[in-house]
Structure 1
Amino acid sequence: MASEITYAEVKFKNASPAAVAKVPPETKKHQHHKDGHHTQKYPLWLPWLISLLLLLVCIALVIALLGEYVQVVAPFSQSGDQPTALQQKFTKWQCVSAGLQGKGQGWTCCPNGWKRFQKSCYYLSDDMMIWAESQQNCSGMGSYVAVINSKAEQDFLTKEVNQPTRGENYYIGLSAQKVGQWQWLDQTPLDNTVAFWRKDEPSNVTAEKCVVIYRNQKTDNWNDVRCEHHNRICEATAVIV
């Protein structure tokens, strides 16, 4: 059977109505550009793929420039480790890249609203409590009243206490069962080489058995005080995920 041929009618200006151009459709499939090359068609999804790759590169650059801070929810859900008491109390966290190359864990996280320094998280309260209640409050959040182990840590806390919205006195985890016998919450005696008393402090009197950081720009800003209502600093180990 002979193949079927389709004819197309083309009308030209000033041409007679009877003029008919017979062009087989197969001819269109072999049209060439003036330079003799075939028309090249790209996949429709290719521009979208290129745009997506450029967007991902931009996001990576922004994260790097901002110090790689992210906000996450319940970071312990990414780890097979048993969550700590701090992790069980909070769901929103602020994390920063820990720079742990070649390891599965690479983010250091503190609860939202806490301040991070090195491997610890700190909470500076807005309200005041007596010493015993301050210990209970910090413990209830999976932390403890701050223990200061270095001048760098003392400098960090001094800077935080001196923020415009802060109170005047903040409990740290140092107290005395007997006059002059200062020790931290874990019963470790105070190392006088890492002590930051104000001038003429401590008073070492029976009525003043607790210690606060006094709001003062100087690094040496510890006062012994009555164990009455003061603000507090809670400390906990930062979470690594």
Structure 2
Amino acid sequence: MRAVTSESSSGNEYTDEFENSENSDDTEFWRKESSVRRIGEAPSGGRWRWQVFAAICIMALALLLLIITVSVIHVKFGRKFSTTETNIQNLTQTLVSVITRTRDLEEHGHKLLLEISSLEFNQETMQSMINDMSDSAQALRDTVSGLKCQINKIRNNNTQELCCPDGWMLFSTNCYFFSDDGMPWDAAKDECRKKRSELLVLKSRQEKSFVISKTRPLYYWLGLTDAHTGEWEWLDGTPYTIIRSEWMPGQPDDWKAHGLGGGEDCAHFHHDGRYNDDHCSRLYRYVCKAQASSI
């Protein structure tokens, strides 16, 4: 009986161990299968909703940042646009002002040109009147000179007498005018013609001695030039042969380093009565010569 019982016990123990081992294996199997399912299965409903909510929050935050950024850019752009608009308005006003001033200047300039034209016309008219008055004054001087000659003739028992205008000097049969003011050679030539005379043309040594006695030690233009042909000649066309003793040492030299342009084409009396060539623009006195009148 004990043996049977022992065997039975041993069989039971074996059976239990076997059953237990099977149960243990089954348990491990289901545990592994359960783990596999957890890895591959979808999240639970609560976790999925949380992820959707987080995604929506992130999108809302991004949208908010975008709106803020756009708003800031819009404000800055609005300010710049406002500033630009103000600058454009200022430039427009400045342009309108410039156009208005330009029109005013054009109108003023037109009026000024008209005034200048009127003044030029008046100047020409006045110059013409002055010239007429000068001619009248010269004619009056000639008349007075004639009257003086007539008076002298009566005083001298009606003998013929040569006469010169007031302010002129008589030598031989000619009258000579020695100016007190200086002017260029061409102007002196014109002034002598206004006085119905010519810039001095010498014809004799005696005449030259007389003139020199009245000009020394000052400078006086005379009617001698080489401007027309390059050769020295008198204003009446008479050729002049250079005599060195009549000129200052080394003259004429046609000096060009004076800075006045060109050479020296006009002759004048130097301080001792000898000739010297100089630039025709120099302001020297002059001698006019005219035929004496007889009554």
CA gap 1:158/1:145 in 2 versus in 1, 3 angstroms: same
Give CA-to-partner distance per residue, 1:31-58, whole Å, 9 cap, x none: xxxxxxxxxxxxxxxxxxxxxxxxxxxx
Work out whether 1:208 is the aligned partner of 2:260: no
User: Which letter does structure 1 place at the counterpart of 2:240?
Assistant: L
Work out whether 1:224 is the aligned partner of 2:280: no
1:150–1:194 contact (8 Å) kept in structure 2? no
CA gap 1:193/1:112 in 2 versus in 1, 3 angstroms: same
Normalising by structure 1, what TM-score?
0.53
Superposition deviation, residue 154 in structure 1: 0.8
Give CA-to-partner distance per residue, 1:123-168, whole Å, 9 cap, x none: 0100111111111100001001000111111110110112xxx7x2
1:209–1:225 contact (8 Å) kept in structure 2? yes
The residue number in structure 1 matching 2:204 is 150
Instruction: Tell me which of 128, 136, 142 is aligned to 1:90.
Output: 142
User: Which letter does structure 2 place at the counterpart of 1:139?
Assistant: R
The residue number in structure 2 matching 1:130 is 184
Q: Percent identity?
A: 28
CA distance in 2, matches of 1:148, 1:191: 13
The residue number in structure 1 matching 2:94 is none
Normalising by structure 2, what TM-score?
0.44
CA gap 1:239/1:193 in 2 versus in 1, 3 angstroms: farther
CA distance in 2, matches of 1:192, 1:105: 42
CA distance in 1, matches of 2:142, 2:229: 38
CA distance in 2, matches of 1:109, 1:194: 36
| SS of residue matched to 1:128 | coil
User: Which letter does structure 2 place at the counterpart of 1:223?
Assistant: N
Structure 1: state its 5+ residue gaps: 1-85, 99-103
Instruction: Tell me which of 213, 226, 244 is aligned to 1:159.
Output: 213
2:224–2:233 contact (8 Å) kept in structure 1? yes
Structure (1 or 2) with the greater helix fraction: 2
1:212–1:224 contact (8 Å) kept in structure 2? yes
- Between the two proteins, the alignment pairs up a number of residues equal to 147
CA distance in 2, matches of 1:151, 1:195: 13
User: Which letter does structure 2 place at the counterpart of 1:211?
Assistant: A
CA-based RMSD: 3.3
CA distance in 1, matches of 2:202, 2:268: 12
CA gap 1:120/1:191 in 2 versus in 1, 3 angstroms: farther
Superposition deviation, residue 105 in structure 1: 6.3
What does 1:91-110 align with in structure 2 at a 5 Å threshold? 91-93=143-145, 106-110=160-164
User: Which letter does structure 2 place at the counterpart of 1:198?
Assistant: M
